[in-house]
């Protein structure tokens, strides 16, 4: 699998419920009273956040009396407000999202959320921009004037990651060609697969949808 770049900037490192599962497995005399239901907010159903959440939900559901539900959304921009309303209990998000959300920084979030807490980080993932293996796009600089998936209303942190990667080679998103509007990560992969975009954010190399595309035509 060959991408235009891989970086640490898009590290998906906050899984805010793993420590909860470990605490339940360990038990203890002072174990807290458990809620009947637990809802985990996460990203698209094709991403690692969703898959990891389901794995933890299965473990927690097996060793406790709780009913654990995983809800796929377009990202923390969607599920964080629901957490404030009490309909989402836990969730997964990137370090950038957590930083912006806690401080209420634009353009991602409109108000501070000082109550936000990280329960457990996970190891750094390598992420980056992907192109077709058969293309002549070999470096980030080659993206100048090309079409790229853009927008990501549900998880705009992706644009921050890509913008940072572009700036590392002296470019900005304004140097690209058409910015193909997509609402989420999965839609970006779809635009890329259908040939409407020359490049898109690929997430981690182990994302199932990305592996399917690599098997189909090579990235």
- pLDDT for residue 213: 93
Summarize pLDDT for 117-147 with one digit per residue, the tens. Answer: 888 777 676 788 999 999 999 999 999 999 9
- Give pLDDT, residue 95: 84
DSSP conformational letter for 104:
T
- Could you tell me the domains of the chain? 14-103 (3.40.190.10), 129-217 (3.40.190.10)
How do beta strands 90-93 and 37-42 pair? parallel
Q: What is the mean pLDDT of residues 60-89?
A: 91
**For residue 215, how many other CB atoms are within 10 A of its CB?**
10
Taking 90 as the threshold, does the pLDDT of residue 67 lie above it? yes
Mean pLDDT of 152-176: 89
**Lowest mean pLDDT, pick from 5-14, 34-43, 187-196, 197-206:** 5-14
Per-residue model confidence (pLDDT) at position 32:
65
Query: How high is the pLDDT of residue 96?
Result: 85
Structure tokens at 122: 């996970």
The two structure tokens encoding residue 77? 């921009």
When pLDDT is cut at 50, 70 and 90, the band that residue 9 belongs to is very low
């Amino acid at each position: 699998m060959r991408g235009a770049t891989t970086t640490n900037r898009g590290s998906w490192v906050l899984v805010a419920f793993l420590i909860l599962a470990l605490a339940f497995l360990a038990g203890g005399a002072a174990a807290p009273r458990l809620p009947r239901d637990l809802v985990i907010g996460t990203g698209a159903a094709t991403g690692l956040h969703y898959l990891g959440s389901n794995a933890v939900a299965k473990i927690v559901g097996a060793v406790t009396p709780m009913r654990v539900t995983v809800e796929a959304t377009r990202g923390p921009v969607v599920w964080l407000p629901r957490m404030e309303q009490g309909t989402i209990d836990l969730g997964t998000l990137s370090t950038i999202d957590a930083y912006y959300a806690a401080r209420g920084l634009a353009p991602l979030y409109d108000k501070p959320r000082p109550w936000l807490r990280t329960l457990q980080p996970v190891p750094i993932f390598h992420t980056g921009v992907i192109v077709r293996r058969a293309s002549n796009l070999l470096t980030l600089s080659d993206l100048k004037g090309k079409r790229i998936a853009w927008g990501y209303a549900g998880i705009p942190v992706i644009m921050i990651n890509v913008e940072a990667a572009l700036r590392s080679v002296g470019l900005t998103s304004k140097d690209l060609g058409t910015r193909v509007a997509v609402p989420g990560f999965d839609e970006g992969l779809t635009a890329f697969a259908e040939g409407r975009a020359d490049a898109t954010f690929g997430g981690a190399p182990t994302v199932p949808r990305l592996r399917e595309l690599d098997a189909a035509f090579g990235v």
